[in-house]
Chains A and B, each alone.
Chain A
Amino acid sequence: EPEVTQTPSHQVTQMGQEVILRCVPISNHLYFYWYRQILGQKVEFLVSFYNNEISEKSEIFDDQFSVERPDGSNFTLKIRSTKLEDSAMYFCASSESPYNEQFFGPGTRLTVL
């Protein structure tokens, strides 16, 4: 069964450093998403992406964040200058259309020291 994959599973970084989180969506999906979940809290929407541009973003997704589909398979989330409060699980998801179910990856745990 096709699945969304994410790398790395755990990333540790120093405050102020840039990180890139990688995702490989399901191959025939066209809509991509990033969510995050701070430990013990709700899953929060960050951004949706379609046709090489951002469709929608939340207030969390400020200028420190960017997304990119650098090739036909990867979808990345970049945080330019990490803060302590960016420590969280980051989930990538993909769907065939905005009306179909979203399939989530296993997540990347980001720890900012």
Chain B
Amino acid sequence: DAKTTQPNSMESNEEEPVHLPCNHSTISGTDYIHWYRQLPSQGPEYVIHGLTSNVNNRMASLAIAEDRKSSTLILHRATLRDAAVYYCIYSTSGTYKYIFGTGTRLKVLA
């Protein structure tokens, strides 16, 4: 099963950027990297995904290492509403399932 490694928790001050790291050393060349977050008492919410190039959308940016063995989710200005558990996921080619790890619990301080 696809395995990722993330820090258990991180803290950020409101309005400051947050860099959430993820290691995925067993990823293959065709596996997309997906980031989801789960707010309290809600279902996982899609944040961003990418393959090789860095990606930006209205929620965040995704920086992917050149060797693709790690990536970083960047929230440019954290708000209190960004407090959630962030999951880095990839599904190995030929499977449809997401394997969720324990994720990183982000705490945003006012």
Contact = CB atoms under 8 A, between A and B. Distances in A.
Contact of A42 (B46, B97, B101): B101
A56 B38 contact: no
A107 B43 contact: yes
Contacts of A75: none
Interface residues of B, number: 20
B99 A45 contact: yes
Contacts of A31: 96
A62 interface: no
Interface residues of A, number: 23
A33 B96 contact: yes
Interface in A18-61: 31, 33, 35, 42-45, 48, 50, 55-56, 58
Interface of A: 31, 33, 35, 42-45, 48, 50, 55-56, 58, 91, 93, 98-99, 101-107
Interface of B: 32, 34, 36, 38, 42-46, 49, 87, 91, 95-102
